[in-house]
Amino acid sequence: MSESNIPDPNASDANTPPRPPLPDSGATGHAGVAAAQPSAQGWYAQAPQPHGQHAPGAAFSSQPAGPSGDAGHGRTHEAKVGSGKIVAVLVAAAIVGAVSGLGGAAIGNDVFQPSSSAAVSSGPTQVTVNDPDQVNQTTGIAAKTLPSVVTISATSSTGGGTGSGVVLSQDGYVVTNTHVVTLDGASSNVALRVTTSDGRVFDAKVVGTDPIYDLAVIKLTDASGLTPIDFADSSTLNVGDTTVAVGAPLGLSNTVTTGIVSALNRSIQIASSAVPDSGEQEQEQGQNGQSPFQFDFGQGQQQGNNSAGTISIAVIQTDAAINPGNSGGALVDDEGNLIGINVAIATAGGGSSSSSEAGSIGVGFSIPSNVVKRVADDLIKNGSASHGLLGAMVGNSADAKDSTVAGALISEVTRGGAAAAAGLKAGDIVTEFNGVPVRDATDLTAQVRALAGGADASVSYVRDGKTQTADVTLGELTD
């Protein structure tokens, strides 16, 4: 058995034009829960403010929403906003695509919204706060976050769809999902049009895609005065923390939903969105070439490149409603800071392509902000992203008859690879990676891929019934 850069979960390998780097997670301060005056802090301004021309009839108050609370996650903040604070929140309700024959996709079922020939649209609307003294926390979070989230329309000669994106810089760098800008791997030649929350429309070009973690960065043409999102440190999240999802489900721009962090360090497999000629579609072949959660566009129809295999990613699970079109949109904390990029949902019936369910059932997934920041920085600087390589073939220990512990069972170690250098051997069962529990091969692959090549990591493993630890310097995944 030889090492492959695209492992099967039961026999898989667990295994870049410079621009300014993105800031460290958590480097930005708490800017309150409502839109305030921005301060230029490198890539990410501290507090958002609407810019440019608003759509007709739309209004937005940029007054801050009173005192902010502590900067931690899961804390209860004062939600009351005095008179004269937030009086309205801009919501441009242009519906770019309607569900007609095609729905959305789910864990595995990504949350990209394919468009149809039937389009539904409406003029911009204003969500008015009738009683400013009773404005709640979610209103403040929405006021802060909405200016940093955009709606992306992607079209090619073979189809089109809508997704969401999050603003990284005032001059128009936006992070989204690879499956949004490749139409789920169907095309590398996609025309992109981006609409901001205040109704401005821009053409955009792809800066770089990363099919390994389903992230992409695009650049809006001749953009200025955009509102960058504030990043939170996703490693400090707790289960139960407040989450707010912002994006364009079903093409409904500037939609806000709320929930909690349902689980952390969840590992999922989704279909790769590498385009057919990218040379990367061979990454992360899943079990029997199938993801346990298939892309499902709601009518038993599949779009994109089915032959590209699957990828394993570590995600935040949330019960905030995420639907087709939310792909690439923001998942923020109780202070409106980014904790994740929405990527997939689970659907009833296990995500089968024959399922008629294509909407939220309260099981949504987001790529953690720390991974997003690292990958987006790589894409902006190099056009591609670095990912770790362990140099070992692994499967699920639970499938071995004599195994008494769940983990990633190493079946083969690549000579000269990272695992071999760390002293790992065939038969070892990896149970922990950098402090994160590993229960199967998907867990290990997702955690390894989240790090860059050359990163240092600690590994706990069981050998001959005894738990041992090792320090590993990861290799780098190559095409």
Q: What is the DSSP string of 272-283?
A: ----TTSS-TTT
User: How far is residue 63's CA from residue 163's CA, in Å, rounded to a whole number?
Assistant: 29
pLDDT number for residue 46: 30
Residue 329: pLDDT over 70:
yes
Higher pLDDT, 183 or 351: 183
Quick one: residue 325, left, alpha or beta (phi over 0 = left, psi -120 to 50 = alpha)? Answer: left
Q: What is the pLDDT of residues 439-472, one digit of tens each?
A: 999 999 999 999 999 999 999 999 999 999 999 9
Q: What is the pLDDT of residues 291-312, one digit of tens each?
A: 333 333 222 233 444 445 899 9
Helix, strand, coil share (%) of the chain residues, nearest 5: 15, 30, 55
Q: Which domains does the chain have, with CATH numbers?
A: 137-220 (2.40.10.10), 387-477 (2.30.42.10)
User: How far is residue 187's CA from residue 195's CA, in Å, rounded to a whole number?
Assistant: 21
pLDDT number for residue 49: 32
**Lowest mean pLDDT: which of 4-8, 376-380, 395-399?**
4-8
**Residue 314: C-alpha distances to residues 68, 437, 455 (Å):** 31, 12, 17
pLDDT number for residue 358: 65
pLDDT number for residue 62: 33
**Residue 186: C-alpha distances to residues 1, 36, 161, 268, 341 (Å):** 31, 40, 12, 22, 22
Average pLDDT over residues 31-42: 33
User: How far is residue 96's CA from residue 112's CA, in Å, rounded to a whole number?
Assistant: 12
Q: End-to-end CA distance of the chain, in Å?
A: 19
Note whether 216 and 178 are within 8 A (CB).
yes
Catalytic residues: 179, 214, 327
pLDDT number for residue 157: 87
Q: What is the pLDDT of residues 214-262, one digit of tens each?
A: 999 999 999 999 999 999 999 999 999 999 999 999 989 989 999 999 9
pTM: 0.73
User: How far is residue 439's CA from residue 267's CA, in Å, rounded to a whole number?
Assistant: 10
Ranges of beta strands (E only) in 272-337 are 310-318, 330-332
Note whether 41 and 64 are within 8 A (CB).
no
Note whether 66 and 85 are within 8 A (CB).
yes
Q: What is the pLDDT of residues 141-194, one digit of tens each?
A: 998 999 999 999 999 988 889 999 999 999 999 999 999 999 998 888 899 999
Three-state SS at 251: helix
Residue type, 368: P
Residue type, 443: D
**Lowest mean pLDDT: which of 236-250, 348-362, 401-415?**
348-362
Could you tell me the two tokens for 198?
A: 């205040």
Nearest to 110 by CA among 154, 146, 69: 154
| Per-residue pLDDT band at 134 (split at 50, 70, 90) | confident
| CA angle (190, 195, 115) in 5-degree steps | 50
Average pLDDT over residues 79-107: 29
Residue 356: pLDDT over 70:
no
Strand pairing class (310-318; 475-476): unpaired
pLDDT number for residue 435: 95
Q: What is the DSSP string of 179-248?
A: HHHTTTTT-S--EEEEE-TTS-EEEEEEEEEETTTTEEEEEETT--S--PPPBP-GGG--TT-EEEEEE-
Could you tell me the two tokens for 367?
A: 């790529």
User: How far is residue 121's CA from residue 428's CA, in Å, rounded to a whole number?
Assistant: 57
Query: Taking the CA atoms of the chain, what radius of gyration do you get in angstroms?
Result: 22
| Per-residue pLDDT band at 21 (split at 50, 70, 90) | low
What is the average pLDDT value for the chain, to the nearest integer?
74
User: How far is residue 311's CA from residue 462's CA, in Å, rounded to a whole number?
Assistant: 26
